Structure 1
């Protein structure tokens, strides 16, 4: 069995209309959410053998703030292919990981991360948390999947079970959807 963690970047800043999408930083709410989720990911207790992340500014800031808050420096493998990738691209990236890590954490974007959950976790009622993801996999959400495979190269559709899902609002209601 393999463990796959998926961590969506935290809330980004849309105030500079000239900024390229890749260069958008986190806003204040995003920085707060990233720190809180970093502590939660640490407390969840999985020892991540490898962390791979999109180098987009909002992802880089998310994982760096999360690691600082968790007081756990982690070597991060930056991979531009994660930036706005499809589920198929993310799955291919996982299959080609050298050294076949037991537990891997991927930091990236939607819709790719959400679609990866839908592809890996069957819609058969065995993972009730899948319904929550169908409603929304918001910024800074963290999901953990158990994969019924021996090697990452064997990754295939419907090989996973969603065993954990936490959104920032689950830890602090103030970080839930903003009301107008």
Structure 2
């Protein structure tokens, strides 16, 4: 089995109207959410071998807040992931070497949400499989969808099984419950 983690960048700052969209940084809420997500990922043992990250500032800053990563984790920055469609994201994933078992993509909506919905498929949503309705309702900033992938990366478009869907609200609830 392979593991695919789809992570939407954390909440970004819109305060500076002179910045273009690509250069917007994270805001304080986004930084806190990404930091909390890092702790949740460690608790769950989520440690991707390869991270594909959009070239935007907010995705790169999200990644920085997930560090330190395992020494063996490779990071590939791709301008093609900036505001990418599901097809463009799939193209990037299809090029991943077969021996890579766990991949994280840090990118943007609507591409990530649309890709997650495509992977889940309407059948799983109609059966109300765990988490699928939550994904269908939206993919907020700093949300993480974990998928189990049976086949090789180039066949990902045929679907995958949603394992979990974490939002900043879920992570915050966990932190409060453990406090």
TM-score, length of structure 2 as denominator length: 0.88
- Residue 171 of structure 1: CA displacement? 2.0
Superposition RMSD on alpha carbons, in Å? Answer: 1.6
State the SS of the aligned residue for 2:105: strand
Unaligned runs of 5+ in 2: 174-179
Gaps of at least 5 residues in structure 1 are: 174-180
Q: What's 1:51 paired with?
A: 51
Shift in Å, 1:2: 1.5
2:156 maps to what in 1?
Answer: 155
CA apart distance, 1:126: 6.3
Q: Is the 8 A contact 1:87 1:115 kept in 2?
A: yes
Is the CA contact (8 Å cut-off) linking 1:127 and 1:163 kept in structure 2?
A: no
Higher mean C-alpha displacement, 78-87 vs 43-52: 43-52
Deviation at 1:99, TM superposition (A): 4.6
Pairwise mapping of residues 63-142 of structure 1 onto structure 2 (< 5 A)?
A: 63-68=63-68, 72=70, 74-124=73-123, 125=127, 127-142=129-144
Alignment: residue pair count: 169
SS at match of 2:147: strand
Give the helix-richer structure, 1 or 2: 2
The structure 1 segments of at least 4 consecutive aligned residues displaced by more than 3 Å after TM superposition are 71-75
Distance 1:79 1:19 in 2: 20
2:9 touches 2:58 (CA, 8 Å); kept in 1? yes
Kindly provide the CA deviation profile for residues 13-72 of structure 1, in whole angstroms up to 9, marking residues without a partner as x.
Answer: 00011101000000011110110011111221133111110010000000101214xx65
Deviation for aligned residue 1:12: 0.1
